[in-house]
Structure 1
Amino acid sequence: MATLSFNPTRIRTPSFKYYNHIPTTSRSPSTILPCTNIPSIYNRNPSKLRRFRPYSVSESSVSIQKEEGVLDDVEGGGEEEDDPTAELSYLDPETDVESISEWELDFCSRPILDVRGKKVWELLVCDNSLSLQYTKYFPNNVINSITLKDAIVNISQELGVPLPEKIRFFRSQMQTIITKACKELGITSIPSKRCLSLLLWLEERYETVYMRHPGFQKGSKPLLALDNPFPMELPENLFGERWAFVQLPYSAIREEVSSLETNFVFGAGLDLDLLGIEIDDKTLIPGLAVASSRAKPLAAWMNGLEVCSIEADTARACLILSVGISTRYVYATYKKSPVTTSEAEAWEAAKKACGGLHFLAIQEDLDSEDCVGFWLLLDLPPPPV
């Protein structure tokens, strides 16, 4: 079974050279997605879904590129061990600074105590390609929007980059502070769990920095845990008309992601190089296809939601759509039976086998070869801090 392996060569540390197809019903749009029956995915005719192929667990596999750790690269090289108390201010010299228009930001306490016995806070900022990386520690008595606003300006000035157009963040508890600081600087703040680079960087820093810090508190629970609320009813404008569990070979996934820009398709991709994942072009990636006669308006609405992931909830016999930071919707329901439960479990198993990788496709018809919306998604565990 595949597990994600973060690509350490993308991270800078202070010591390394610097720091189906469910048939539609005749009811109103508010009841179209929920269904009464699901045909077996194992028997679905591939020609009916064309490029989306019926799912089979045995066909799905992912090999993970096991990068050697950065510490291994310098072992025996005579360089001093990195200082976990050091701060980082890095900009890739080959990067066009004008291209960095979006930042990912976390401003939260760490499992580290200062000399006063109080938890240290840290500002962590990067862009999605990790071309920009910045860290700074703060005492807990200066945590406010003014401190954050000044820090954002300082990053821009210190690294010589323009203020970003957008800043994404994933902690709902910090929304007021982050939103206020961004608003005063004319920056759009976006609550979103699609802070993939930031989340993986936090996981990496927990092991390589925080655990080695002299003030580290083992067993300390996160001060601002991520929310996982009960799913709500789906807004009417987000309903489709038909849906199906599907799969695409990875080669087709790459084509769909590239078409987001070339064909002006709604949606979002992921930086798989950042994950250190190597996927064979024939590897099948599980997904969900949604068809609607109003596919373009539906995709446009979805595009503004920061789509995070889709989960098959077998206990409730439904699909859960996660968007933004903590919003969860009942995206579709189905009649619970051994067959439908088995299908949903198989789809979840496929995601797990692919390290959590899956997708959402919106089409005008399930038989169509074109998508008007495509989102590559990833289930990630919550960060350890």
Structure 2
Amino acid sequence: MATLSFNPTRIPHKPISKTASFSKPSELLFPFSLKPSKHHVKPLHLQSNIITKLSVSTQEEEVETEKEDLEEDDPTAETVYLDQETDPDSIVEWELDFCSRPILDVRGKKVWELVVCDDSLSLQFTKYFPNNVINSITLKDAIVSISVDLGVPLPERIRFFRSQMLTIITKACKEIGIKPIPSKRCISLLLWLEERYETVYTRHPGFQKGAKPLLALDNPFPMELPDNLFGEKWAFVQLPFSAVREEIASLETRFFFGASLDLDLLGIEIDDKTMIPGLAVASSRAEPLAAWMNGLEVVAIEADTSRACLILSVGIATRYVYATYKKTPVTTAEAEAWEAAKKACGGLHFLAIQNDLDSDDCVGFWLLLDLPPPPV
């Protein structure tokens, strides 16, 4: 099974099962009948809050290097990092998590941590907090301090993925003029938390093995799809990975709706000819439909064979019954094969909105990724 990790670790790829074909549009009806970064990023736990200074002697340089190595290896150290090659003014959006960790302080209470990055991981910041100071004021002050300490402007937007922190994060952001965006499209942040669990938290002297996350992620029962999000037809489809990359590139040059993922950062290495599974949606009102979808923070699509439907996940904790189909051995096999193909590609899939299923052009294109919840 393919897995995800940071560059340079790559995703091993398995070929899509030959038992199913997704290229021919299905005539199943709807119920009513993202700028890829080119930066190479070091393993995140190696970033520290050390600012290297020029020394006048080789001996001083060696001492400074040894000191950095010790602090980089310290799981209690905090991170304050900005890529020197990145223009601070270009970082207009942050990804943020503010939550407890499986670590106990000297009082026997769970330690909280603020983790902030941008989608390219050019900006990285972590800070521990005791559990008795967790409020919007603490968070607001911390956000301002990141801006000051790293010499970057406050962001225009902050994405976060925990519904339980909605009130605190929203209040803190609005008090300093930042737009809060509840969204699980925090891919860089989610992968960083997974990496920190393995390389930082488990090595912390206060680590509590087996501790469950205090703020578990929601996976609510899917709701009925709003009228404005209905299409007219849909089909399981597939595109060569080369064509998927072309669609991503076109997001920067053509005026149409959608969202991308940083494939370089994710370390995704798939042959150009590999077929990526997706869902094509056709509508006579494709542009308005794509515009509505563009404001939803589309996360992923799941084929639920037990209910004979497709589930659309958006935002933090919203799930819709996106489409239904008649349950037969043939349709069940096709849905299962689509899910298997998605897993074989490390969870990579896409949503395309078109005027017609036979069209070669998309009005909207979203590159999506199934990710397991972080271990914290």
| SS in structure 2 at match of 1:161 | coil
Unmatched runs of 5 consecutive residues or more in structure 2: 10-23, 34-40, 47-64
Name the structure 1 match of 2:314.
Answer: 323
CA contact (8 A) 1:313 1:319 kept: yes
State the distance in 2 between where 1:320 and 1:228 align. 11
Indicate yes or no: 2:348 matched with 1:357: yes
Specify the code of the residue in structure 2 equivalent to 1:5. Answer: S
Q: Give the counterpart of 1:272 among 245, 250, 263.
A: 263
Deviations 1:223-279 (A, max 9, x none): 000000000000000000110000000110011011112002101010111111211
Give the TM-score of the pair, scaled to structure 2: 0.85
Give the number of aligned pairs: 334
Distance in 1 of aligned mates of 2:290 and 2:203: 45
Indicate the residue corresponding to 1:213 in structure 2. 204
Structure 1 counterpart SS, 2:215: coil
1:34 is aligned to 31
Q: 1:70 deviation in Å?
A: 8.5
The alignment status of 1:284 with 2:275, answered yes or no, reads yes
The separation in 1 between residues aligned to 2:282 and 2:255, in whole angstroms, is: 19
**1:368 partner SS:** coil
1:163 is displaced (CA, Å) by 0.4
The one-letter code sitting in structure 1 at the alignment partner of 2:345 is C
| CA–CA distance in structure 2, aligned partners of residues 8 and 276 of structure 1 | 6
Q: CA RMSD in A?
A: 2.0
Q: Aligned partners of 2:313, 2:301: CA distance in 1, in Å?
A: 6
Residue type of the partner of 1:296? Answer: E
User: Are positions 1:86 and 2:83 aligned together?
Assistant: no
The answer (yes or no) to whether the contact 1:166–1:188 under 8 Å persists in 2 is yes
Q: Partner letter of residue 2 of structure 1?
A: A
* Residue 2 of structure 1, CA deviation: 2.1
CA distance in 2, matches of 1:265, 1:306: 15
Aligned residue for 1:278, secondary structure, equals: coil
What per-residue deviation string (whole Å, max 9, x for no partner) do you get for residues 344-366 of structure 1?
00000000100000000000111
| Equivalent residue for 2:162, pick from 171, 175, 181 | 171
For the 8 Å contact 2:5–2:191, the answer to whether it is kept is: no
Q: What residue number does 1:6 align with?
A: 6
- 1:118 equivalent in alignment to 2:119: no
Give 5+ residue unaligned stretches, structure 1: 10-19, 25-31, 37-66
Q: Distance in 2 between matches of 1:161 and 1:174?
A: 25
Equivalence for 1:138: 129
Q: Which residue of 2 aligns with 1:224?
A: 215
Whole-angstrom distance in 1 between the partners of 2:324 and 2:45: 48
1:108 maps onto 2:99 in alignment: yes
Query: Aligned residue for 1:15?
Result: none
- Work out the CA distance in 2 between the residues paired with 1:143 and 1:341: 47
Post-superposition Cα deviations, 1:171-230, rounded to whole Å, max 9, x if no partner, equal 000000000000101110000000000000000000000000000000000000000000
Q: Distance in 2 between matches of 1:154 and 1:8?
A: 31
Q: How far apart are the structure 1 equivalents of 2:230 and 2:299?
A: 17
Work out the CA distance in 1 between the residues paired with 2:346 and 2:272: 16
The match for 1:17 is none
Match of 2:301 among 301, 310, 329: 310
Do the aligned partners of residues 35 and 250 (structure 1) sit closer, same or farther apart at CA in structure 2, a change above 3 Å counting?
A: farther
CA contact (8 A) 1:95 1:131 kept: yes
How far apart in 2 are the matches of 1:33 and 1:87?
50
Is 2:353–2:362's contact at 8 Å kept on the other side of the alignment? yes
Counterpart residue identity of residue 102, structure 2: P
Cα distance in 1 for partners of 2:147, 2:44 equals 28
Q: Is the 8 A contact 1:35 1:334 kept in 2?
A: no
Matched with 1:332 is 323
Could you tell me which amino acid in structure 2 is paired with residue 216 of structure 1?
Answer: F
| TM-score normalised by length of structure 1 | 0.84
Displacement of 1:3: 1.9
Q: In 2, Cα distance between the equivalents of 1:123 and 1:130?
A: 15
- 1:378 is matched with which residue: 323, 344, 369? 369
Partner of 1:229, secondary structure, is coil
What residue is the counterpart of 2:88 in the other structure? 97
Work out the CA distance in 1 between the residues paired with 2:246 and 2:43: 31
Answer yes or no: is the 8 Å Cα contact 2:6–2:43 preserved in 1: no
Letter in 1 for 2:337: A
Q: CA deviation at 1:35?
A: 8.2
SS at 2:342's partner residue?
helix
Is the contact between residue 288 and residue 361 of structure 1 (CA under 8 Å) also seen in structure 2? Answer: yes
| Aligned equivalents of 1:118, 1:71: Cα separation in 2 | 24
Identity of matched residues, %: 83
1:297 lines up with 2:301 in the alignment: no
Alpha-carbon displacement from aligned partner over 1:298-328 (angstroms, at most 9, x marks no partner): 0000000000000000000000000000000
Provide, for residues 359-382 of structure 1, a one-character-per-residue CA deviation record: whole Å limited to 9, x for no partner. Answer: 000001111111010000000000
Task: Quote how far apart the aligned CAs of 1:22 are.
Answer: 4.7
State the secondary structure of the residue aligned to 2:287. Answer: helix
- Does the CA contact (< 8 Å) of 1:191 and 1:324 recur in 2? yes
Q: Is 1:242 the equivalent of 2:233? A: yes
| 1:296 positional shift | 0.5
Instruction: Give 1:7 deviation, angstroms.
Output: 2.2
